[in-house]
Amino acid sequence: MKQQDHLFLSAQTVDEASRIFKALGDPTRIKILYLLSQEECSVSHITEVLDMTQSAVSHQLSLLRKLRLVKYRREGTTLYYTYDDEHVITVLNQVLTHIKC
Amino acid sequence: MKQQDHLFLSAQTVDEASRIFKALGDPTRIKILYLLSQEECSVSHITEVLDMTQSAVSHQLSLLRKLRLVKYRREGTTLYYTYDDEHVITVLNQVLTHIKC
DNA sequence: CACATATATGAACATATGCTCATATATATG
DNA sequence: CATATATATGAGCATATGTTCATATATGTG
């Protein structure tokens, strides 16, 4: 195939895809998203389940928020996070299932 | 949910998944894998189409090889690369399609 | 308002990443 | 063997990433 005959991806599409995959390309964020795929979670719950510092979890949630992969609601002083991108959760679960097989 | 009631992912599963996603989490590698999803390519062809240095492409191919996402056959001095993980290509195309919509 | 609890955030730091540049390796050909 | 072509690889470097530590912010309660 000649260069001009390729089905090109726009730079925008490639960047968007790589941002999504980069978000999934870290063990901590995979664990967080997997947790959120099962249930709404407070920050302290995530912190306990993953056995990490509150700060580390909060930083990762901040990153996932920027990418609009998660959102939260407040109840008093507690913030409850949920996932905010069904498709990303589907992709994550597909890959996890594939690996476990 | 209590900590012990979660469906846990093994550390191995999480690490394997994050390695795959990390591989896809770079624009250059997305472009390479997308190219290879369309046709077998020589290194020089990839280099031309992506307009990158031969060294940069070769380093990325080396990384993709380590992860067994691509393989190659030799014909004289030319190496022809193909993808080596159907599932990863499927996931890539799913995400690309989803973004383009 | 004072204090407690839950969470967020900024700085700092160690490590990972992706590229360039120079050079090595492998194959083909005369 | 000498030379050319295609590709791989190591070192170096700038930037990105993920965590910790200290501290800020937000809400609730007495």
Strand D interface, B 25-44, C-beta < 7 A = 42-44
Question: Got the DSSP string for B4-17?
Answer: GGS-PPPHHHHHHH
pLDDT at A62: 98
Q: What angle do CA B15, B90, B41 make, to 5 degrees?
A: 100
Provide the domain count of chain B. 1
In a domain, A81, yes or no: yes
Is residue B15 situated within a structural domain? no
Which residue's structure tokens are 């996890």?
A: A96
Task: Write the CATH number for B35.
Answer: 1.10.10.10
- pLDDT tens digit sequence for A32-45: 999 999 999 999 99
Q: How far is B3 from chain A (nearest CA, A)?
A: 5
Three-state secondary-structure class, residue B41: strand
Residues of the domain holding B53: 20-100
3-class SS of residue B92: helix
Residue B29 covered by a domain: yes
pLDDT number for residue B56: 98
- In terms of Cβ atoms closer than 10 Å to its own Cβ (0-12, 13-18, 19+), residue A98 is middle
Burial code (b: 16+ CB inside 10 Å, e: under 16) for B2-12 equals eeeeeeebeee
- B61 lies in a domain? yes
pLDDT digits (tens, 9 = 90+) for B53-80: 999 999 999 999 999 999 999 999 999 9
Contacting B residues, span 39-68, partner chain A, CB-CB under 8 Å: 39, 48-49
Return the pLDDT at B101: 83
**ipTM score over 0.95, yes or no:** no
